[in-house]
């Protein structure tokens, strides 16, 4: 698999394409794109068969190792790829370390090892153990092992350790990659650590760019510890670090960021040059019974950026989630029916909400690509910004139903205010 830039501008905003994929010469996936976030190899609440009703376009599944560790031994005896193992033979796969939709525990650092928190507890991965997994999974893309346990509050000592560990871990993984027959044509993404310290980022970049010929893309890592709090990260806090990192990455390489970034921040990050995100934001919304309803066209005139279907006002609302949406949930079910399903705790409720959210989110990325091509991305950003800010002001001013506010607070989980 290789990454090619389609637009004249090498930096941002730009259009690109992933192609020359082994055994799939006719498949091309356009960027900017969103990886389909999975847990245990499946999109939360949605099976592979149901997703075919959402989209028939080629997709890349994000496979977090933290949710696949339990299959480690099994995969050593399996001859196929991880996509075949999970029953999604038509999808490509991208192996990552942590689950961006769940808060990653901090601390527990050991030299030359990275902790991941599985259902069975803490597991320490060193480069050899990690590359054993990568070779047995045979993903189409994967991220090198790194220490991304930093955020806005991290001390300088922790940041320095994170950079040292990331450089050492990535180099060891890359050496193994060069010798691997199974990973000969696999797309390699190199993480760049350093928290919010530009000097630390520069040190990490200089060390890892020495092997840039072996790397296909870069991951801007270490800005957060994943989980719902990423949705509310102020863009101005991350802008300087992302801008600096992308500026020093070779322009012909793919640039990736993980996390539950809200659509407004996605647009701003695309403006800086980020090519690849994930759909973990859709899972966060679905867990709080919220459906995306922001409009991408002026004439759509959406009532709100998102709606919470647990609110009692939707009990007798027989309209679809969004009148302009063509997804399965909007075509066949009403807000009132989904509200009823939520009230009686029927498992179909999150399935329908997730179907709509993923459909809307993928449509959003398609719109981003169209706007880049037509040079109208700033208009889309302005349109969504107005809707998002209006929604946030409504929450902060207290002009929300008690059910909606409670759902919003529940979604925040372990975030400290």
Instruction: For 319-348, write each residue's pLDDT tens digit.
Output: 999 999 999 999 999 999 999 999 999 999
Q: Are residues 279 and 323 in the same domain?
A: no
Last residue of a domain, one of 255, 285, 315: 285
Establish if 416 belongs to a structural domain. no
Cis peptide before 32 (omega within 30 of 0): yes
Q: Are residues 279 and 293 in the same domain?
A: no
User: Which of 173-182, 213-222, 266-275, 390-399 has the weakest average pLDDT?
Assistant: 390-399
Residues with Cβ < 8 Å from 209, sequence gap 6 or more? 248, 250
- Secondary structure (DSSP) of 2-63: EEEE-SS-SSSS--EEEE-BTTBTT--EEESEEEEE-BTTB-TT--HHHHTTT--S--EEEE
Q: Are residues 149 and 25 in the same domain?
A: yes
Quick one: tokens of 351?
Answer: 């399935």
Q: Are residues 13 and 32 in the same domain?
A: yes
Establish if 417 belongs to a structural domain. no
**Sign of the Cα pseudo-torsion (24, 25, 27, 28, in order):** positive
Cα 369 to Cα 246: distance, rounded to the nearest angstrom = 19
Q: Kind and range of the H or E element at 163?
A: helix 156-179
Establish if 369 belongs to a structural domain. yes
User: Which of 13-17, 211-215, 388-392 has the weakest average pLDDT?
Assistant: 388-392
Contact between 50 and 365 under an 8 Å Cβ cutoff? The reply is no
Establish if 248 belongs to a structural domain. yes
pLDDT at 415 over 80: no
Instruction: Provide the pLDDT confidence category of residue 394 given band limits of 50, 70 and 90.
Output: confident
Q: Are residues 91 and 127 in the same domain?
A: yes
Q: Are residues 114 and 185 in the same domain?
A: yes
Instruction: Provide the pLDDT confidence category of residue 416 given band limits of 50, 70 and 90.
Output: very low
Contact between 38 and 62 under an 8 Å Cβ cutoff? The reply is yes
User: Which of 82-96, 172-186, 399-413 has the weakest average pLDDT?
Assistant: 399-413
Quote the domain boundaries for residue 212: 2-285
Q: What's CA 13's distance to the chain center, in Å?
A: 19
Helix (H, G, I), strand (E, B) or coil at 345: coil
- Secondary structure (DSSP) of 57-83: S--EEEEEGGGTGGGHHHHHT--S-HH
Cis peptide before 13 (omega within 30 of 0): yes
Last residue of a domain, one of 253, 285, 317: 285
255 assigned binding-site residue = no
Q: Are residues 270 and 378 in the same domain?
A: no
Range 104-129 average pLDDT: 90
Q: Are residues 47 and 82 in the same domain?
A: yes
253-277 exposure pattern, b = at least 16 Cβ within 10 A, e = fewer: bbbbbbbbbbbbbbbbbbbbbbbbb
At 36, which CATH number? Answer: 3.20.20.105
Quick one: tokens of 328?
Answer: 């399965």
| Exposure of 111 in the CB half-sphere (CA atoms within 13 A) | 0
Q: Are residues 200 and 121 in the same domain?
A: yes
Looking at residue 406, what is its pLDDT? 54
Quick one: tokens of 309?
Answer: 């279907």
Give 233's strand partners.
none
Q: Are residues 244 and 184 in the same domain?
A: yes
Last residue of a domain, one of 265, 285, 305: 285
Instruction: Provide the pLDDT confidence category of residue 98 given band limits of 50, 70 and 90.
Output: very high
pLDDT at 16 over 60: yes
pLDDT digits (tens, 9 = 90+) for 223-282: 999 999 999 999 999 999 999 999 999 999 999 999 999 999 999 999 999 999 999 999
204 assigned binding-site residue = no
Quick one: tokens of 37?
Answer: 């976030």
Q: Kind and range of the H or E element at 278?
A: strand 276-278
Establish if 101 belongs to a structural domain. yes
Task: Look up tokens 């006002």; give the residue.
Answer: 313
Query: What's the predicted TM-score (pTM) here?
Result: 0.92
330 assigned binding-site residue = yes
**Radius of gyration for the chain, computed over Cα atoms and rounded to the nearest angstrom:** 21
What share of the chain has pLDDT > 90, as a percent? 83
Q: Are residues 208 and 277 in the same domain?
A: yes
In total, the chain counts a number of residues equal to: 417
Looking at residue 410, what is its pLDDT? 54
Contact between 249 and 66 under an 8 Å Cβ cutoff? The reply is no
340 assigned binding-site residue = no
pLDDT at 167 over 80: yes
Question: Into how many domains does the chain fold?
Answer: 2
> What would you measure as the largest C-alpha separation in the chain, in angstroms?
62
Residues with Cβ < 8 Å from 373, sequence gap 6 or more? 7, 15
Q: Are residues 173 and 309 in the same domain?
A: no
| Phi, psi of 61, rounded to the nearest 5 degrees | -85, 130
The burial of 307, by beta-carbon neighbours within 10 Å (0-12 exposed, 13-18 middle, 19 or more buried), is given as buried
Establish if 183 belongs to a structural domain. yes
């Amino acid at each position: 698999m290789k990454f090619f830039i389609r637009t004249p501008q090498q930096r941002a905003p730009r259009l690109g394409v992933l192609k020359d994929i082994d055994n799939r010469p006719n498949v091309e996936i356009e960027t900017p794109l969103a990886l389909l976030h999975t847990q245990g190899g499946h999109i939360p609440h949605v099976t592979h068969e149901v997703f075919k009703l959402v989209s028939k376009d080629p997709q890349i599944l994000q496979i977090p190792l933290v949710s696949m560790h339990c299959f480690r031994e099994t995969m050593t005896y399996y001859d196929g790829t991880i996509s075949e193992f999970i029953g999604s033979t038509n999808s490509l796969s991208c192996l990552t370390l942590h689950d961006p939709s769940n808060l990653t525990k901090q601390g527990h650092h050991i030299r030359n090892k990275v902790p991941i928190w599985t259902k069975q507890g803490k597991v320490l991965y060193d480069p050899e153990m990690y590359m054993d997994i990568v070779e047995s999974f045979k993903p189409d893309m994967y991220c090198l092992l790194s220490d991304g346990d930093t955020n806005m509050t991290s001390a300088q000592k922790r940041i320095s350790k994170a950079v040292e560990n990331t450089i050492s871990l990535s180099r060891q993984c890359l050496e193994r990659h060069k010798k691997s027959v199974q990973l000969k044509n696999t797309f390699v993404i190199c993480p760049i650590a350093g928290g919010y310290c530009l000097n630390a980022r520069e040190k990490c970049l200089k060390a890892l760019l020495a092997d840039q010929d072996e790397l296909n893309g870069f991951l801007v890592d270490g800005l957060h510890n994943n989980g719902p709090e990423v949705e509310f990260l102020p863009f101005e806090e991350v802008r300087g670090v992302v801008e600096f990192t992308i500026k020093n990455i070779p322009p012909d390489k793919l640039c990736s960021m993980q996390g539950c970034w809200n659509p407004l921040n996605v647009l701003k990050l695309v403006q800086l040059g980020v090519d690849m995100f994930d759909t973990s934001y859709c899972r966060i919304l679905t867990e709080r019974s919220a459906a995306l309803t922001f409009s991408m066209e002026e004439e759509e005139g959406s009532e709100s950026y998102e709606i919470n279907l647990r609110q009692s006002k939707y009990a007798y609302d027989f309209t679809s989630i969004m009148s302009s949406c063509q997804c399965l949930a909007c075509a066949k079910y009403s807000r009132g029916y989904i509200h009823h399903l939520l009230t009686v705790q029927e498992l179909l409720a999150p399935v329908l909400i997730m179907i709509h959210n993923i459909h809307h989110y993928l449509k959003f990325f398609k719109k981003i690509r169209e706007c880049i091509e037509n040079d109208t991305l700033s208009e889309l950003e302005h349109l969504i910004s107005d809707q998002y800010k209006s929604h946030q002001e409504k929450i902060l001013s207290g002009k929300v139903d008690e059910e909606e506010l409670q759902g919003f607070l529940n979604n925040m989980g372990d975030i400290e205010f």
